[in-house]
Amino acid sequence: MLDQDLKNLWQKGPSPSQIHLNQEVLLQEIRAEATATDQKIKTRDRREIGVALVVLPVFALTAWLMPFPLTKLGAGLVIPWCLLIVFQLKRARQNRVQDFSAPLQEYLHQYRQYLLRQAQLLKSAWYWYILPFTVCMVLFICGFPLSPGKMIFNLGIILGMSVFIYLANRHALKHELQPLLIKVERALSALKE
């Protein structure tokens, strides 16, 4: 009786065309999410690079005009920090999938590498984005002759901004990149079977 049940189960299983259809649905879903994610990444990169290119001359002028040495140092350090932001974002986009006509498995491998690079960018933002920002701004603020209350208030704002940037990067990593990366890896393993 058990043998007959197994035979029936085997015969009632999905046909290869149904399996292929499920892979096609999965791949369409991945491509749709990939397009949306790539658009978010492009928007983020444009915004960050645009802000860096605006902030760079403002702080260069501030470093030149300010009479306070620590403020000059903080403002001067913003310049290489802005250039670092542009460099990091441009470098992370180098692995972007350009050839959408590539075989499916190759496309998914390329897209996986791109997502891993973007995930690494977000994971490492604390040392190439947040830490330099915090150091530059603390030096900038500490150079001004402020009362202790105003100094603490301004440093609190800097700390709050740093925490916000950290949490925003973690949120993007956890809720956008990692779920898509899991889907791409599932699709790759389904194609291998």
The tens digit of pLDDT for each residue in 176-190 reads 899 989 988 888 888
Say how far apart CA 8 and CA 12 lie, in whole Å. Answer: 6
Say how far apart CA 157 and CA 139 lie, in whole Å. Answer: 14
pLDDT of residue 71: 94
pLDDT of residue 19: 46
Tell me the pTM: 0.77
pLDDT of residue 28: 77
Q: Is the Cβ–Cβ distance between 160 and 130 less than 8 Å? A: no
Q: Nearest CA to 122 among 86, 154, 184, 169?
A: 169
The set of long-range contacts for 119-128, using a CB threshold of 8 Å and a minimum separation of 24, is 119/173, 119/177, 119/178, 119/181, 120/92, 121/88, 121/89, 121/92, 122/169, 122/170, 122/172, 122/173, 122/177, 123/169, 123/173, 125/165, 125/166, 125/169, 126/166, 128/84, 128/85, 128/88
**7: pLDDT strictly greater than 60:** no
Interval 51-89: pLDDT, tens: 999 999 999 999 999 999 999 999 999 999 999 999 999
pLDDT of residue 11: 58
Average pLDDT of the segment spanning 148-156: 95
Q: Is the Cβ–Cβ distance between 117 and 42 less than 8 Å? A: no
Q: Nearest CA to 126 among 166, 157, 172?
A: 166
pLDDT of residue 5: 57
pLDDT of residue 134: 95
Confidence of residue 22 (pLDDT cuts 50, 70, 90): low
Tokens linked to 184: 């791409």
**173: pLDDT strictly greater than 80:** yes
